[in-house]
Chain A
Amino acid sequence: MTRATASGFWKQALSIARRDLMIESRGGEVFGVVLPFAAVAVFVVPLATDALATRLDQLAYPVFWLVGLLFGMQVALRQTGTENLTQRRTLALMGIDPAARFAGRSLAAAILTTGVMLVIAPLVVLFYDPDSIPDIWPSLAAIIGFALGLSMLSTLAGDVTVGLRTRSSLAPLIVAPISVPLLIGASQTLEALIRDRSTMAPALLLTVTVLSLAVTGVLTAPALEEATT
């Protein structure tokens, strides 16, 4: 299949990402709905424990990553970011490279997910008071890597299930078990930073997983487009 030229590919991908971000800025599904919901989740976990006796500080990072995983999926699978059949067909007939469409939609979801996680992080610190906090910049890199991988995976799962009546539960079922390498790569990178160990192995795992998802997404994009137009 004739790929758009490299510049054409990125121009298309960025246009698609820009479209999704504009829709979000108007519809506010992520920052008006998903994010408050995620904040509530952070807040209610201690209420499900004996907060006075339990070491909440030990729950800080697990809760952060779990909320990031579950609500990151919600971001990528959000209703206002899902193209309907007519929209998918119109894009296909404009000759948009399906791989560029995948890249653009994943990129927008990754930006939004990173945003959600960056708001959640201080809330976790506030409510759970962890013993130590890792360096900002390497942590940010781990969060961005996690958000990128999760967004690509959820975008793929969202496309595979688009139009199905059970999509809202089916897509997360597909994403959750496959997201484990991302979860372990990102959470262990952060833990290595906290414990002053080498981040080499988990960071490498995260990078390899993100790259493998990018390659899988680009290679399956034409078949996925054919299956959903």
Chain B
Amino acid sequence: MTKRMVLPGLSAIAIVTALYLALGSSPDVFQGDFVRIMYVHVPSSWLAFLAFGVTALGSALWLWRKTIVWDRIAEASAEIGVVFTALAILTGAIWGEPVWGTYWDWGDARMASTALMLFVYLGYLALRSATPDPIARARRSSILGLIAVVQVPLVYFSVTLWRTLHQGQTIRPDGIQMDGSMVAALLGGLAAFTLLYFSLMVERVRLARLEDENTISDSVAAGAAVTSPNLDGIS
């Protein structure tokens, strides 16, 4: 096994193990087998927060050090974060329907703020794709990355406040009664997803570097793009 395969290999083993733990754990008293969705949902949410935290860190370090790798890390992490945020929302909805009786519950502050966070980082990625020049892209998106990290906690608090001001009916059952096998399944999921995050990050950052190397050519300098006109061609 080459060195590059170590992290993906470990992630694969961890995911298989987590899957085994999740399917083998005992069902919940109230939720029955639906609780198993939580073993995907909770790790996805955790990854989303981890990923966006890393994006903010990468943005700050890029602004400070101006080393391009920090920008690549910020970008890679935002992309992974968006995917896992979407997964968290989706699994939450799939779980919510049988357990809460609804796909979407405005009474739950986390759902609304997670969805808003998804939009914030979709905007971040849209800004990146709209800026062709890598340096300009790094500069602008690092600033947005910082604005976002200051504002996202406020979004979370504001939605929580909004919910408490409108105390609706609570349709959810009491907290999950966790036995040992369920704790193991949850921890297994968290560990597997975290490993998956790092292996995706390594690959995505490597890909970004290859993209840049592919387009950078030292031989072409300015002016070479414009050559003498062929005056004979004008008849």
**A-to-B contact residues, CB < 8 Å:** 156-157, 160-161, 164-167, 170, 173-174, 176-178, 180-181, 184-185, 188, 191-192, 201-202, 205, 208-209, 212-213, 216, 220, 223-224, 226-228
- Is the Cβ of A227 less than 8 Å from the Cβ of B130? no
Q: What is the CA–CA distance of A191 and B162 in the complex, to the nearest angstrom?
A: 11
Cβ-defined contact, A177 with B150, below 8 A: no
Q: Is the interface of A mostly helix, strand, loop or mixed?
A: helix
* Closest chain B residue to A169, Cβ basis: B126
Q: Nearest Cβ distance between residue B216 and chain A, in whole angstroms? A: 21
Residues of B within 8 A of A209 (CB): 151, 154, 158
Question: Which residues on B are within 8 Å of A, measured CB to CB?
Answer: 63, 116-117, 119-120, 122-124, 126-127, 130-131, 136, 139-140, 142-144, 146-148, 150-152, 154-155, 157-159, 161-162, 165
Kindly list chain B residues whose C-beta atoms are within 8 Å of the C-beta of A176: 119
In the complex, the answer to whether B147 meets A184 with C-beta atoms within 8 Å is no
Q: Please tell me if the beta carbons of B116 and A177 are within 8 angstroms of each other in the complex.
A: yes
13 contacts between A and B (CB under 8 A): A160-B144, A164-B127, A173-B123, A174-B144, A177-B116, A178-B147, A180-B116, A188-B161, A188-B165, A202-B161, A205-B158, A209-B158, A216-B147
Q: Are B162 and A165 in contact (CB under 8 A)?
A: no
A-B contact count (CB 8 A): 97
Contact of A170 among B116, B127, B143, B154 (CB under 8 A): B127
Q: Which residues of B contact A228 (CB under 8 A)?
A: 140
Known: A178-B120, A212-B151, A227-B139. A161 touches B162 (CB 8 A): no
With the chains together, A205 CA to B131 CA distance in Å? 34
- CB-based contact B155/A181 at 8 Å: yes
Instruction: Given A167-B130, A173-B126, output 18 extra A-B contacts at Cβ < 8 Å.
Output: A160-B147, A164-B130, A173-B119, A174-B120, A174-B123, A174-B124, A177-B116, A177-B120, A177-B155, A181-B151, A181-B158, A184-B162, A191-B165, A209-B151, A216-B146, A223-B139, A223-B143, A227-B143
- A107 to B12 alpha-carbon distance, docked (Å): 54
B147 touches A205 (CB 8 A): no
Distance (whole angstroms) from the CB of A5 to the closest CB of chain B: 26
* Chain B residues within 8 Å of A185, by CB: 158
Contact (A205, B126) CB under 8 Å given A177-B116, A223-B63, A224-B143:
no
A201 / chain B contacts, CB cutoff of 8 Å: 161, 165
* Complex Cα gap A205–B165 (Å): 13
Whether B136 and A227, one on each chain, are in contact in the complex, defined by CB atoms closer than 8 angstroms, is yes
Q: What is the CA–CA distance of A164 and B133 in the complex, to the nearest angstrom? A: 11
